[in-house]
Structure 1
Amino acid sequence: MRILVTGAAGFIGSTVVDRMLADGHSVVGLDDLSSGRMENLAQAGSDARFSFEKGDITATGLTDFVARVRPDVVAHLAAQIDVRVSVADPLRDARLNVLGTINVLEAARLAGASKVIHTSSGGSIYGTPAVLPVSEAVAPSPESPYAAGKAAGELYLNVYRATYGLASTALALGNVFGPRQDPHGEAGVVAIFGTALLEGRPTKIFGDGTTSRDYVYVADVADAFARCVPAEAANGLRLNIGTAVETTVRDLHSRVARLVGVPDDPQFAAPRPGELQHIALDVALAQQAIGWRPQVSLDAGLGHTIDWIRGRLSSTATAASV
């Protein structure tokens, strides 16, 4: 099949690109490179079945581009990804995450695509659930503009499926981590902690450290996307993609510090607005619907990630000394 991946140069998007190519598909990547990096697509770039276009999912020309590509399936990962950015600028968040998603759906429909796989947010759309891990049976209850935008995207998926027959699956991701995650943005605590500790810089925890998240490894996330490629696979469903395990940010810091081999001594700061205190995702439906379950444990995934960060820092230092 021909797969269009939006947000292809991001750390999740590029991992999805690599997985789709490994599965034998041809892949077209789209990214405006506002946060994604072309170096993430170095492996894909050596494959003749991969092509890349720099472009914005909110642009009026998206429909013409997708019509030229004629994808069978669209994996939609392009988004504004930070809760704090959405709180500071909700209009920007809505333009990218709501209008951008509608633009992608409309372009996919007009191009004759059979399916859109949408990236939702299991870490935010449920608000503060009464019971954890939370299942898909719990109605979304957004507590930030970011979460509201992701929930709105799911509603539009339902509309396009009911009105136009465009198959769709929403993958509600936990807190994704792994190689290629950007340590310089405001999202991606594993990359932020790992890079700072490897460079000998101080780390900071916002709040008292008891905030918990469901951390899921990026290759497992790419596996979920791959399993949803057939039009009939989980059509019309939201699937939680996580581990069902809560890990506090304080515990996460300890694990990363231990892997790096440095003292576990973070600074603490005031909590930030808009962020949930606790979340973990029930993933039983994903196992039932597409045979998916997480394969990489937190410690194994952290080990892979720290090794990748260490290698990147070493390469950067070598390049700077030449």
Structure 2
Amino acid sequence: MKVLVTGGAGFIGSHVSDEFLRAGHEVIALDNMSSGKRENLDPKVRLVELDIRSPEAAALIRSERPQVICHLAAQMDVRRSVEDPRFDADANILGMLNLLEAARASGVKKVIFSSTGGAIYGEQDVFPAPESHPTRPVSPYGVSKAAGELYLGYYRAQYGLSYVALRYANVYGPRQNPHGEAGVVAIFSQRLVAGRECAIYGDGGQTRDFVFGPDVARANLLAFEKDYVGAVNIGTGVETDINRLYALLAGAAGADTRAQHAPGKPGEQRRSCIDASLARKVLGWEPSVGLAEGLRRTLEYFRGVSQGTSRAAG
């Protein structure tokens, strides 16, 4: 089966491309290469360099007629969305609509959307949050992802386009770009490997649910294989605060330097943690890599990058 992965040369997208390739599917990666890298991809994956907002991206869908679209391409930096909401909406809402219009006109059977569990619920009432929790995002990024889910519901009702919205927790792991993507694990890892000081914004007591990138990629394949339609959380259900995260990474890196604290950033939640029990029920998915092991693998990847020996497989 032919699968189009938008953002396919990026951190999560390249792992998704790997999953579908290993399952025997033909994979096309569409990426504007703003943060993606060709070396992230298996040579068997065909890379097409286009922006999802472009007429050419829509034309690609119409000409290739993929059966499935895994939509990962996005403006994914919460802080940038606060600074420039128009840019966030342009990429995450108008870009997605460009793809959906082409998809419904081209006979695409299913869209697997990379949504957010980390930002869509806002300041949570319960921990971990189930899919039934009210969606009240506190950043434009979260708003744009919630809008994407609503549009998918519309295209399902109006045109019969099937979809799964995977609400990711905070994804980390090999291939994450510490410059072009929001990812505290990647930022800390790169700096620790280089022997540089790390900064924690705020008091470090803010918590996140950290889930390993290849585990998230596996959820995409399962979402394709199962008949479930709707939103489903992809996370661990475990809260880890940033001070603890830094201590774990520094310990794994053999670094004894303390992190410095800087003023907190606007638009960031205090606590975030999601319940993935529905994913176990409807997708047969659960995380397979714990935080300590995932951090070790991530540090190993960044060591390889610094030494010029890291393999693209991550």
Match of 2:134 in 1: 139
For the residue of structure 1 that corresponds to 2:274, the secondary structure is coil
Deviation at 1:62, TM superposition (A): 2.2
Separation of aligned partners in 2, 1:287 and 1:233: 14
Residue identity in the other structure for 2:136: S
8 Å contact from structure 2 (residues 7, 13) kept in 1: yes
Structure 2 portions without partners, runs of 5+: none
For the residue of structure 1 that corresponds to 2:118, the secondary structure is coil
Match of 1:40 in 2: 40
Q: Does 1:254 align with 2:268?
A: no
Counterpart among 260, 266, 277 of residue 273 in structure 1: 266
Q: Does 1:300 align with 2:297?
A: no
Match of 1:320 in 2: none
Q: Does 1:233 align with 2:227?
A: yes
Match of 1:19 in 2: 19
For 1:97-108, list aligned pairs within 5 A: 97-108=92-103
Match of 1:111 in 2: 106
For 1:49-64, list aligned pairs within 5 A: 50-64=45-59
Q: Does 1:69 align with 2:64?
A: yes
Separation of aligned partners in 1, 2:270 and 2:79: 14
For the residue of structure 2 that corresponds to 1:14, the secondary structure is helix
Question: Size of the alignment, in residue pairs?
Answer: 310
Q: Work out the percentage of aligned pairs sharing the same amino acid.
A: 47
Separation of aligned partners in 1, 2:178 and 2:279: 29
Residues 210, 104 of structure 1: alpha-carbon distance in 2 compared, 3 angstrom cutoff: same
8 Å contact from structure 1 (residues 258, 264) kept in 2: no
For the residue of structure 2 that corresponds to 1:225, the secondary structure is helix
Q: Does 1:197 align with 2:158?
A: no
For the residue of structure 1 that corresponds to 2:21, the secondary structure is helix
Deviation at 1:186, TM superposition (A): 5.4
Deviation at 1:185, TM superposition (A): 3.3
Q: CA RMSD in A?
A: 1.2
Please, what TM-score do these two structures have when normalized by structure 2?
0.97
Match of 2:79 in 1: 84
Separation of aligned partners in 2, 1:143 and 1:229: 30
Match of 1:286 in 2: 279
Deviation at 1:316, TM superposition (A): 7.3
Separation of aligned partners in 2, 1:266 and 1:185: 22
Deviation at 1:63, TM superposition (A): 2.1
For the residue of structure 2 that corresponds to 1:300, the secondary structure is helix
Deviation at 1:110, TM superposition (A): 1.1
Counterpart among 163, 170, 179 of residue 168 in structure 1: 163
Deviation >6 Å, runs of 4+: none
Q: Does 1:3 align with 2:3?
A: yes
Residue identity in the other structure for 2:122: G
Separation of aligned partners in 2, 1:267 and 1:133: 29
